[in-house]
Structure 1
Amino acid sequence: MVLAFGLAWLPGTWQLPVADSLSEAQVKAAYLYNFAKFVEWPAEGEPDNSDISLCLIGNNPLEGFLETLNGRNIGERRLRLVRHNYANLSLSGCHLLYIGLSEQAHFLVILNALGNAPTLTLSDIENFAEKGGGIGLVVRDNKVVFEVNLETIRKAGLHLPGQLLNIATHVYGR
């Protein structure tokens, strides 16, 4: 797992191959960790000095690899996992929200519940970014890549660096 985080940090390796040594879930978890490093929140949604909340909705998202992110440092802050379920969509305080595949039938309701909250939404649900999610993780040609919905990101008051947008396989709302 440490290898996945190291690989995702190196310039030019954002499109990580799904290899025998790293599972697709491990690579996607590494992406989420790195997105947390690069997203910029508006002043009113800025994480406090200690925690960045990564909220999870869904059954065993990414085969449990997201749990390995709990407590990891991101600069001077710590990433904290917070579990939610579809029955309780009180998502205030979520800086990042990962919606697992088990919520495919509900993800639009979840996105609507967030409104324009300063939350970066992420998922590997098919067409997630195209349908209004912030960042969709997809596998193409045996590589994990990502798509961005820039309109959604802007409505949430978030900012992603141009470098990140340049390496996305597709940017909707540009």
Structure 2
Amino acid sequence: MLRSWLRHGLTMTLAFAFRASGVLVLSSSLFANSAMLNAEGKTESEVRAAFLVVFAKYTQWPDRILSAEGEDFVVGVLGDDPLVTALKALHDGRVMGRKLVVKRFSTPADVQRCHVLFFPKGQEQHFPGMRDKLAAQSVLTVGETPRFCELGGALGLVEESSRLRFIVNLTALEQAHLRVEPKALRLAKSIISKPSAQP
């Protein structure tokens, strides 16, 4: 069962601990500056899944997007990627008191309503054609390369010296009417706050 969601803020190094059953337990510092990609022998996808869910907890969506009580919080993944399995393994995962639901979309045309949409490597090529529509729907867009943020994506997860770091595009967040808490932004590897590159 997920627990210890940043109770004491983001002041220490991110640490992950896993029970023997494989259920994720997160330390009180969650992101800090980076996450070890091989934390406790877990896969890169498991670490990324935990990071993604926690980042969502520090993001505020417009009331029109998260208005109905009891509504599921949907994380979508474009294409076939191990992140889907890793996210679903967070059995009791909840975001802002809402049940975490994971959906895989085979193609851009399959994408349905979601709060977060993850673009694995090889799928970011589809993002420019979807960018404006996703921004209008206040979707938090996440990719795996610095280039993703340059294309207008909101969050880029990148590997650096076997650690998971993140890049934030403030312009993309503003266009999607999303707000990330300052204490999370301060931990970003870099922040983009200029017009995004066109495809």
One-letter code of the match for 1:18?
A: L
1:62 and 2:87 aligned: no
List 4+ stretches of structure 1 deviating above 6 A. Answer: none
Match of 2:101 among 77, 80, 90: 80
Bigger CA drift: 6-15 or 30-39?
6-15
Match of 1:6 among 19, 25, 35: 25
One-letter code of the match for 1:54?
A: V
Q: Report the CA distance shift for 1:105/1:165 in structure 2 as closer, same or farther (over 3 A).
A: same
Larger Rg: 2
Superposition TM-score, scaled by structure 2 size: 0.75
Q: Work out the CA distance in 2 between the residues paired with 1:6 and 1:13.
A: 16
Which structure carries more helix by proportion?
Answer: 1
What is the DSSP-based 3-state SS (H/G/I as helix, E as strand, rest coil) of the residue aligned with 2:150?
Answer: coil
One-letter code of the match for 2:32?
A: T
1:110 and 2:157 aligned: no
Superposition TM-score, scaled by structure 1 size: 0.85
Note the residue ranges of structure 2 that are not aligned, 5 or more in a row: 3-16, 19-23, 195-199
Please give the per-residue CA displacement for 1:6-33, whole angstroms capped at 9, x wherever unaligned: 3465256351112261222111111111
| Root mean square deviation, CA, Å | 2.5
1:18 and 2:19 aligned: no
What is the DSSP-based 3-state SS (H/G/I as helix, E as strand, rest coil) of the residue aligned with 1:127?
Answer: helix
What is the DSSP-based 3-state SS (H/G/I as helix, E as strand, rest coil) of the residue aligned with 2:109?
Answer: coil
Q: Work out the CA distance in 1 between the residues paired with 2:160 and 2:192.
A: 17
Q: Aligned residues: percent identity?
A: 25
